[in-house]
Chain A
Amino acid sequence: MSGNDINRRDFLKILGWSGVGVAVAGCDRPTTVTLEEGKEEVVAYLQPEEYVIPGVGVWFASTCQQCPAGCGVHGRVREGRVLKMEGNPDSPINKGKLCQMGQAGVQGHYNPDRLKKPMLRKGGVLDEVSWDEALAALEQKVGPASGLAGDRFAWFTGTVSGHQSVLLSAHLAAMDSKNHFIHETINNAVVRAVNQDMLGEAMPRYDLPAAKMVLSFGADLVGAGASPVHFSGEYAKFRTGSLRGVLVQVEPKMTLTGGSADLWVAIRPGTEGVLALGIANQVLLGDEVKIAGLPDNIRTLIAGYDVEKVAGITGVTGDRIMRIAKLLKDRSPSLVLAGASVEGHAHGYQSAAAIMVLNIVLGNIGKTILPSGSSPFPQMEAKAGGTRDLLALADAADKKALDVVFFHGSNPVYTAPAALGLADKLKNIPFKVVFAVHPDETAMSADLVLPILSAHEDWGTHMGVYQPEQKSISIQQPLMERLYPDTRGFGDLLLALLKARQVKEYESFADYYGYLKNAFAALPASVKGDAVSDEDFWGKSLQKGVLNIGTVAGALNPKMVEISFPEFKSDAQQYYLAPSARLGLWDGRHANLPWLQEAPDQISKVVWTSWVEMHPATAAKLGVKEGDFVKVTSAQGAVEAQVYVYKGIHPQVIAVPMGQGHEEYGRYAKGRGVNPLKILAPVTDAKTGELALYGTRVTVAQSGRREVLVKLMGSETQLGRKMVGTVTASVFDRTEGTKNVT
């Protein structure tokens, strides 16, 4: 198909059987059903593409944009509308599978509360304006004539990758600014820093199937982690086959991954690193050769953590520690992972480093932790974010160091702890521009809101934050014509911004589509495979949706770092707050998707609201039961929600899930539940400067109110019936271990 702007979107422009209540049965609402002749309209295509057959679904490949994992998807398109997402089997990341967030992507696209027109703040109020007016305002503030340049301009985004990232960097260079803040609340920034320091690579590859045991310290592999669908598939491989892997999960609050553990161990928050050293101590017991091979400081450190001391600090009983150590010794190679609950403390880096030490002691490097190598196109790789940049933005705004900030793909006004005072500090930035699909809190506090196309309407290329063995670029193409005429592609806008600064370099590209097509033509022949021409290569790439780009081999060089822990003190009156992440609402960005609001939390089964998780002993101490409202108070504020009692949490921990408590964000999210991020203390990890999400202390008090906690489930137990049968692994090994049954 030709590349001009009208033709390339033709397949949807043809409109087809669109509108409410036309030919297509089922999409119609029953009330408008009429069998009387001449009541309903049927509109033919003006000029259909040959592959468009009314009544027959067609699949187009694209990329999921619901989280930074970058899964490949197939969108089912019928009569010009995208109906359903399915995984793209060609994607090495998700291999044809998809999680609930990916499934719900269509609801973000068809969301009734989408931004439809640009908005400009006039006299303190956001008013709908035309694109001409919006762009004129933009030109006035950031155009070449404005004189704006240098670090007084900044981009504030979520994780970016692919050509979007390339263009963003180019725009920053054109603006002569180095200020690119990248913010993700659910991140593994501290672990990445540890990996960088200890292995020489921030995101090595974890070979789960090769591990005979995984000891996970709060790493929510199959839940709200770096690449949920990918690791779910890897988990399945890890749990099947001739030697089924054992999963031991150590964490203060049970995550989704913890729910599938063979052994789930509650640990006192912040002491995970100590436990890792305690286990290392047990593993090394009697192994003089290994002990001698360790650097002096690490040897002394490990020697200092004998079982009894570690049990005292961590609250994990001694026999557990010894058993885990024995399992690790018996089941080599293993894999020890650190997750959000490890990272989220002032000494998060130290804990994560101690966990990596355990990996080194166990000899896992090179066996289950492998070099991911580098990509031939490093400029396309995902720039993963953290919370440090959120603090940096607040700081820069406070110092009045910024004139104009462009926001995209992140909602800092919602995710920033109240203690940061971000909403107030942002007022120091004279001109805030938000490129957004939905009216989130950041958009509603901006000076200029530019409504962009949804992920299902736009072009793009992406690379997932976690790349499996086969590195790939995933291609995003529109699955349907734009729903609202006054929305524009983010890439198109980015290109327009660049053209305003560097006409010569970018004038040859009519739009982002043209830019991408050109970029694909310019790729080296090695990735083009058997394509006979650039046009053929482009067509094949779109059809497949994924471009395997190969890997430049790398190597890991394990290195020890200095580790020291603070003194752990116990304070029975104060609880640790765990702002737990959910696979579903994520960091709150999916709270406006009704499917995900009604999809119960996997562990508590609560829907539509927030809740406070506590241990039965804690509940008994507070005199509360499920459904009672309690007030969770930190030095920075308080939230009130209903109690959910269960045993998958440490008695000293109170967990309030992230995702709810929106003040804006449309009808499904606004005013629902509470946002635990708001009451976080401004504690940071000493080494990396990342916000210590799990480092806040709170008190809990009954507030007297009580309502039934709305959960989607039957009974808590199986009531003696065989609903979920359980067998031991020895039976599994005997009957299925050697056979490949499925």
Chain B
Amino acid sequence: MAVPHRRSSRYFLMAFAAMVLGIFLAASSAWADGSSGVPNAVPPKGEHEGKNVEQPIEFPHNIHVDINKINCMYCHTYARRSKVAGIPPTSKCMGCHLVIATDKPRIKKLTEYWEKKEPPRWKKVHDVPDFVHFTHEKHLKRFVFDNEGMSVDRVSEVCAFCHGEVKKMTVAHKVKPLNMGFCARCHEANKGPFDCWKCHK
């Protein structure tokens, strides 16, 4: 089977190393600091009345994040190494749910998908137009890993800038407008780049 070319594997290793280092630094500084709030991060203004979207499985974010304290990046694992955060692969869900809560109707539904070898077709909630190139990777680096006083455990607070308090939701819905003004306000407050070609190309 195909083996990735070394360019990619090297990249992977470096990204991984950077990530581990980042987590370590962030965690240690959080330990030392222990203060509350998110320094240097001003949530951009603007609200959006989100629609409730019917998903193939009514995924309860609250149970996973709020009750079980699972880190956002445990499932949305691509966020720290790619521009897209990614929907967790079905195998990741099954990693726990082969044994946990297997009798619940939603898990039964998930198991059905798994056995059919077919991932659920989720409906997209947070979207930006095609000419907008937003990258999760860089934002996480800036606001989590490079941010002194920000523990990686509290990444959900950073995610919440744009995604709202997902940990209080069941199925995620959009609460922020995610338009250019929304982005620009945050870039202004945090001295983000204002080069058009950063996001549009």
Question: Do A and B have CB atoms closer than 8 angstroms in the complex?
Answer: yes
**Contact for A37 among B12, B51, B118, B130, CB less than 8 A:** B51
Q: Please, what's the 1-or-0 string for B184-198, where 1 marks a CB less than 8 Å from any CB in chain A? A: 000000000000000
Q: Does any Cβ of A come within 8 Å of B81's Cβ? A: yes
Whether B88 pairs with A44 at a CB distance below 8 angstroms is yes
* Chain B hits for A39, CB < 8 A: 123-124
Stretch at the interface among B2-10, B27-35, B99-107, B143-151: B2-10
Q: A45-B90, A46-B89 are in contact. Are A40 and B1 (CB under 8 A)?
A: no
Q: Does any Cβ of B come within 8 Å of A289's Cβ? A: no
Whether A35 pairs with B128 at a CB distance below 8 angstroms is yes
Q: Does any Cβ of B come within 8 Å of A703's Cβ? A: no
* Chain B hits for A25, CB < 8 A: 128-133
Alpha-carbon gap, A259 to B129, bound state (A): 46
**Contact for A42 among B7, B114, B122, CB less than 8 A:** B122
Alpha-carbon gap, A548 to B86, bound state (A): 40
Alpha-carbon gap, A15 to B116, bound state (A): 14
Q: Please, what's the 1-or-0 string for B50-79, where 1 marks a CB less than 8 Å from any CB in chain A? A: 110110000000000000000000000010
Residue of B53, B84, B120 ringed by the most chain A CB atoms within 10 A: B84
| B83 and chain A: residue at smallest CB distance | A55
Whether B127 pairs with A35 at a CB distance below 8 angstroms is yes
A586 vs chain B, min Cβ distance (A): 28
Q: Does any Cβ of A come within 8 Å of B181's Cβ? A: no
Q: A7-B1, A28-B130 are in contact. Are A37 and B89 (CB under 8 A)?
A: no
Whether B119 pairs with A46 at a CB distance below 8 angstroms is yes
Alpha-carbon gap, A478 to B11, bound state (A): 22
Residue of B1, B83, B86, B131 ringed by the most chain A CB atoms within 10 A: B1
Alpha-carbon gap, A580 to B126, bound state (A): 55
Residue of B6, B82, B86, B117 ringed by the most chain A CB atoms within 10 A: B86
Residue of A37, A47, A477 ringed by the most chain B CB atoms within 10 A: A37
**For residues 132 through 162 of chain B, which have their beta carbon under 8 Å from a beta carbon of chain A?**
132-133
Stretch at the interface among A56-64, A188-196, A564-572: A56-64
Whether A30 pairs with B130 at a CB distance below 8 angstroms is yes
Alpha-carbon gap, A22 to B127, bound state (A): 10
Q: A23-B84, A25-B130, A28-B130 are in contact. Are A47 and B90 (CB under 8 A)?
A: yes
* Chain A hits for B8, CB < 8 A: 51, 56-59
A18 vs chain B, min Cβ distance (A): 10
B17 vs chain A, min Cβ distance (A): 15
**Contact for A60 among B2, B11, B12, B131, CB less than 8 A:** B2
* Chain B hits for A9, CB < 8 A: 1
Whether A55 pairs with B78 at a CB distance below 8 angstroms is yes
| A25 and chain B: residue at smallest CB distance | B130
Whether B122 pairs with A46 at a CB distance below 8 angstroms is no
Whether A37 pairs with B2 at a CB distance below 8 angstroms is no
| B178 and chain A: residue at smallest CB distance | A35
* Chain A hits for B133, CB < 8 A: 25
* Chain B hits for A11, CB < 8 A: 1-2
| A517 and chain B: residue at smallest CB distance | B1
* Chain B hits for A46, CB < 8 A: 89-91, 114, 117-119
**Contact for B120 among A34, A38, A44, CB less than 8 A:** A44
Q: Does any Cβ of B come within 8 Å of A1's Cβ? A: yes
Q: Does any Cβ of B come within 8 Å of A10's Cβ? A: yes
Alpha-carbon gap, A28 to B86, bound state (A): 17
* Chain A hits for B14, CB < 8 A: none
Alpha-carbon gap, A296 to B117, bound state (A): 80
B26 vs chain A, min Cβ distance (A): 21
Alpha-carbon gap, A539 to B53, bound state (A): 45
| B12 and chain A: residue at smallest CB distance | A51
Q: Does any Cβ of B come within 8 Å of A111's Cβ? A: no
Q: Does any Cβ of A come within 8 Å of B167's Cβ? A: no
A250 vs chain B, min Cβ distance (A): 43
Whether A38 pairs with B87 at a CB distance below 8 angstroms is no
* Chain A hits for B78, CB < 8 A: 53-55
| B130 and chain A: residue at smallest CB distance | A25
Whether B129 pairs with A35 at a CB distance below 8 angstroms is yes
Whether B2 pairs with A40 at a CB distance below 8 angstroms is no
Q: Please, what's the 1-or-0 string for A524-563, where 1 marks a CB less than 8 Å from any CB in chain B? A: 0000000000000001101100000000000000000000
Whether A44 pairs with B119 at a CB distance below 8 angstroms is yes
* Chain A hits for B3, CB < 8 A: 60, 539-540, 542-543
Q: Does any Cβ of B come within 8 Å of A392's Cβ? A: no
**For residues 458 through 507 of chain A, which have their beta carbon under 8 Å from a beta carbon of chain B?**
477-479
| B179 and chain A: residue at smallest CB distance | A35
* Chain A hits for B120, CB < 8 A: 43-44
| A480 and chain B: residue at smallest CB distance | B2
B86 vs chain A, min Cβ distance (A): 5
* Chain A hits for B90, CB < 8 A: 44-47
B146 vs chain A, min Cβ distance (A): 20
Alpha-carbon gap, A373 to B129, bound state (A): 58
**Contact for A53 among B7, B51, B81, CB less than 8 A:** B81
Whether B5 pairs with A543 at a CB distance below 8 angstroms is yes
Q: Please, what's the 1-or-0 string for A229-272, where 1 marks a CB less than 8 Å from any CB in chain B? A: 00000000000000000000000000000000000000000000
| A15 and chain B: residue at smallest CB distance | B119
Alpha-carbon gap, A59 to B5, bound state (A): 5
| B11 and chain A: residue at smallest CB distance | A56
B91 vs chain A, min Cβ distance (A): 4
Alpha-carbon gap, A38 to B51, bound state (A): 8
Whether B4 pairs with A60 at a CB distance below 8 angstroms is yes
Whether A74 pairs with B173 at a CB distance below 8 angstroms is no
**Contact for A59 among B4, B87, B91, B174, CB less than 8 A:** B4
* Chain A hits for B117, CB < 8 A: 46
Q: Please, what's the 1-or-0 string for A379-395, where 1 marks a CB less than 8 Å from any CB in chain B? A: 00000000000000000
Alpha-carbon gap, A502 to B60, bound state (A): 59
Q: Please, what's the 1-or-0 string for A47-88, where 1 marks a CB less than 8 Å from any CB in chain B? A: 110010111111111000000000000100000000000000
Q: Does any Cβ of B come within 8 Å of A41's Cβ? A: yes
Whether B5 pairs with A43 at a CB distance below 8 angstroms is no
Q: Does any Cβ of B come within 8 Å of A33's Cβ? A: yes
A536 vs chain B, min Cβ distance (A): 11
| A22 and chain B: residue at smallest CB distance | B124
Q: Does any Cβ of B come within 8 Å of A320's Cβ? A: no
A62 vs chain B, min Cβ distance (A): 9
* Chain A hits for B82, CB < 8 A: 53-56
Whether B130 pairs with A33 at a CB distance below 8 angstroms is yes
Whether A61 pairs with B5 at a CB distance below 8 angstroms is yes
Alpha-carbon gap, A41 to B123, bound state (A): 5
Whether B5 pairs with A60 at a CB distance below 8 angstroms is yes
* Chain A hits for B88, CB < 8 A: 44
Whether B173 pairs with A45 at a CB distance below 8 angstroms is no
Q: Does any Cβ of B come within 8 Å of A8's Cβ? A: yes
Alpha-carbon gap, A274 to B86, bound state (A): 70
Alpha-carbon gap, A239 to B133, bound state (A): 43
* Chain A hits for B89, CB < 8 A: 14, 44-48
* Chain B hits for A56, CB < 8 A: 8, 11, 81-82
**Contacts from A to B (Cβ < 8 Å):** 1-2, 7-11, 14-15, 22-26, 28, 30, 33-48, 51, 53-61, 74, 477-479, 539-540, 542-543
**Can you spell out 9 A-B residue pairs with CB atoms less than 8 angstroms apart?**
A22-B124, A25-B129, A30-B130, A37-B50, A38-B51, A43-B121, A51-B9, A54-B82, A60-B5
**Contacts from B to A (Cβ < 8 Å):** 1-9, 11-12, 50-51, 53-54, 78, 81-84, 86-91, 114, 117-133, 173-174
Q: A37-B123, A39-B123, A44-B88 are in contact. List 20 more A-B contacts (CB 8 A).
A: A7-B1, A11-B1, A23-B124, A25-B128, A25-B129, A25-B130, A25-B132, A25-B133, A35-B128, A37-B124, A37-B173, A41-B121, A46-B89, A48-B91, A53-B78, A56-B81, A56-B82, A57-B8, A542-B3, A543-B5
Nearest first, the 9 A-B pairs at minimum CB distance are A1-B1, A38-B53, A44-B87, A55-B82, A59-B5, A47-B91, A45-B89, A38-B123, A40-B124
